A and B are shown apart, each in its own frame.
Chain A
């Protein structure tokens, strides 16, 4: 036996031997002990075995089939019906050796099958393999659970990069706008985020100003998500009150260039509502094209969004552009997940998205507008990127 490979944890593995024949039970016990298994319990039939499960907590069951009271087939079926034991290795050892018996045992939930008379080396080898597999599976499950809980925590942190309902309500009231937003990373974490900053001004000097921005980092998943935290920190530290959208982007870009490795970048759109001019003034670092419309319009107007993405060239400058945005008018921003949906051999693209937006422009409720549009996008094709969408309505 000593030439078999080491199985980690064999000495702590628990094996339950189920056999109605006392001689067989002791033979198997001796065999297991010779193979290095020390924690062994024994049961006389299926009922006895099921009764011992919770106290003994086996890592493997060696199961005879022909037993009084509750036979091995039925015991196995009942075992598999208990969620905690559905993955437990069950190694059947039986004198039944017809193919139908084996098939019946596997159908009842057996993991493996050896026939009596027992070949000691074979039985021990199989016991070791199943215990090893169980240990590996267990490690993998623990790793999976840990990763899942960490990702879920990180996801909650990422959601908090975006304005809380309370802060959003404050800015909406101060800026005279209503905002509906949707944030859906393609996996637990994503490379998108959006935020807004409202700067109050001295009393009697107008409404103050709100800078709204949306960011989409290259790639998706954990790497892109870490970058959203970096960029969020950069934006939080900045005093944006005196900056035009173009100056804001070029400042963010310079800071980001010093941080991002080659091959990573972000697209970003930043803009302010100029109430006196009824315009949305913005700058774009290669973002998607912003859309605006006024009540009664038949189709949205698309703005130009050409611009070098952030993080590529420290000296980049960002041009300022504007779109009309009168009271009652709407502004729609979205990440590229919304336009890269495959349609035939091409993608939906901005004109395709604009057509879907046009179908829904009559919907006055912002959240319902977004929900309807997103349902429609999902019907177009699979969305395999992060999808963030934001609808701003200027209060009239």
Chain B
């Protein structure tokens, strides 16, 4: 997995690319640190170019959600497609994270 960060006026947009799995733990930790340093309240993860997420990857997204909440920020998961969308749907993560199309 790799990512690019774009600072917008109202929100920070982070585009995730590739596969988010067990092996990306260190990278996602680094990303969470960067997101915490951003001023924007809304931290949006754009998942449109994320091809695959496994259960450990979902776990890391949930850690990101909690870390943002602790810092009074909001995590948004946006534009999931394919397998990623199916996983988010079956796990009904919209009950605990903001998910946008």
Contacts and interface: CB of A to CB of B under 8 A. Distances in A.
Given A265-B62, A267-B55, A336-B55, 14 more contacts: A220-B56, A262-B66, A263-B59, A264-B59, A265-B59, A286-B90, A308-B92, A308-B93, A308-B95, A309-B91, A313-B96, A316-B95, A340-B54, A385-B54
Contact of A267 (B51, B56, B62, B91): B91
B66 A346 contact: no
Contacts of A342: 52
Contacts of B63: 262-263
Interface of B: 22, 51-52, 54-56, 58-60, 62-63, 66, 82-83, 86, 89-93, 95-96
A220 B82 contact: no
Contacts of A308: 91-93, 95-96
Contacts of B86: 349
Interface of A: 216-220, 262-265, 267, 286, 289, 305-309, 312-313, 316, 336, 340, 342, 345-347, 349, 385
A216 B55 CA distance: 9
Given A263-B60, A340-B54, A347 B22 contact: no
Nearest to A186: B22
A302 to B, nearest CB: 12
Main secondary structure of the interface of A (DSSP, over half): loop
B89 A306 contact: yes
B73 to A, nearest CB: 15
Contacts of B22: 219-220
A289 B66 CA distance: 28
Given A218-B56, A219-B22, A263 B91 contact: no
A286 B95 CA distance: 12
A345 B84 CA distance: 13
Nearest to A191: B55
Contact of B55 (A218, A289, A306): A218
B62 A349 contact: no
A316 B51 CA distance: 29
Nearest to B21: A384
7 contacts: A265-B55, A306-B90, A308-B92, A309-B58, A313-B95, A313-B96, A336-B55
Nearest to A347: B83
Contacts of A267: 55, 91
B62 A312 contact: yes
A346 B95 contact: no
Contacts of A286: 90-92
Nearest to A285: B91
